[in-house]
Amino acid sequence: MKKIRMGMVGGGQGAFIGAVHRMAAFLDGNIELVCGAFSSNAERSQQSGADLNIAQQRCYASYQEMFEQEAALPAEKRMEFVAIVTPNYLHFPVAKLAIEYGFHVLSDKPATFDLAEALALQSLLEQHNTLYGLTHTYNGYPMVKQAKHLVASGELGKVVKIVVEYSQGWLASKDDEASKQASWRLDPKKSGISCCMGDIGVHAANLVEYVSALNITQLCADLETTVADRQLDDDGTVLLRFSNGAKGVLLASQVSIGEENNLRLRIYGDKKSLEWWQMEPNTLWLKSADQPTQMLRAGVGEMCDQALNAMRTPAGHPEGYLEAFANVYQNFVGQVRAFQRGEDASNETHDVPGITEAVRGMAFIENTVRASQSDMKWHQLSLATE
């Protein structure tokens, strides 16, 4: 089966997440990188492309040039989708132009700079016959998919409480702001109205809704800027209410010294509960009031189809972040191929976060910031702009 041809915007020399995207895209051997606008600096874009063995004529000085020239190539040669791995403020203009040129889009999160852009993107997709995916990486773990299956199958009973924590410590001091990754995330002109909630809180919110199949309907937020002279939040606590009446708590922090990438999810039902931790992703705990706690392990025993499809190695061989990331790419490839065959190419069928998750993510960020600035306790999570 032929490989799907990918282009990339961003992710050049000195970028962190671009290399991760490429490793994930290449893991299953179904994608080839054929072109890119790897930097807003034309010379750096050329150098980055050379490092990746991309033909010089397909290393472009801008994404505008790339879409125009790729669209002019024969169908069997041009890129088929673009991966967007830029700072947040470029996500929408790049995605918009790609869609208008007829290219599919797989974008880093958050989807856009603000909710208005996400809604505009949703409207644009309704007018064009193209696919859109969002790299909420943590959905790609096999045991996350098994957790989702357990909730959906009624194993937990009715969900009554959800606690999700995403703690990091990499922005705990003023000195941490010197890196390229920190500087744009703390700049409201490039990141948007939130650093912590926009960067990792939105991952936690998406994970909760993905596994529980519940929507966050109301929230009460307390965001904090703990380091002097920062313009955006670096820590926050959000109380949640869900569409079935369940309550929850979301903790997100980038100033928790000693924490690496501590994403932990606990879902409590009226029969059983489950717990998953990103630092030990092959394990899912299933707990009961009157039975021994079960440790479910990837590759051991019966698993749902989505979990099985997400596994690559025998039991006891750890699968981690890159494999989870690759599952998002692999599912998107399946979506593109279904689209090309004229089959069902919906995000839901192919287990790919899409424009629905994009809009809900941006709504979560904006509603959380707005709630934190208000003296009122509870706020409806609105999908409309003010």
Q: What is the pLDDT of residues 104-118, one digit of tens each?
A: 999 999 999 999 999
pLDDT at residue 16 greater than cutoff 90: no
Q: How far apart are CA 44 and CA 12, in angstroms?
A: 7
pLDDT at res. 259: 97
Confidence of residue 51 (pLDDT cuts 50, 70, 90): very high
131-148 pLDDT per residue, tens: 999 999 999 999 999 999
- Average pLDDT in the chain: 97
Tens of pLDDT along 179-206? 889 999 999 999 999 999 999 999 999 9
Determine the pLDDT at residue 1.
83
Mean pLDDT computed over 252-265: 98
pLDDT of residue 318: 85
Q: What's the whole-model pTM score?
A: 0.97
Whether the ω angle into residue 110 lies within 30 degrees of 0, i.e. cis, is yes
Question: Is the pLDDT reported for residue 295 higher than 80?
Answer: yes
Mean pLDDT calculated for residue range 8-30: 94
Let me know if 99 is exposed, middle or buried by CB neighbors in 10 A (0-12, 13-18, 19+). buried
Ramachandran angles phi, psi of 3, nearest 5°:
-75, 155
pLDDT above 90: residue 231: yes
What is the set of domains in the chain, with CATH numbers?
A: 4-138+327-354 (3.40.50.720), 141-314+362-372 (3.30.360.10)
Q: Are strands 104-107 and 132-134 parallel, antiparallel or unpaired?
A: parallel
Q: At what angle do helices 17-26 and 321-341 cross, to 10 degrees?
A: 60
* pLDDT for residue 47 is more than 80: yes
Q: Using the predicted structure, report yes or no on whether residue 217 has a pLDDT greater than 80.
A: yes
In tens, the pLDDT along 54-107 reads: 999 999 999 999 999 999 999 999 999 999 999 999 999 999 999 999 999 999
Res. 386: pLDDT tops 80: no
Confidence of residue 14 (pLDDT cuts 50, 70, 90): confident
- Per-residue pLDDT band for 319 (boundaries 50, 70, 90) equals confident
Mean pLDDT for 200-215 is 98
Summarize the confidence of residues 155-159 as an average pLDDT. Answer: 98
Q: Give pLDDT, residue 81.
A: 98
Average pLDDT over residues 27-33: 97
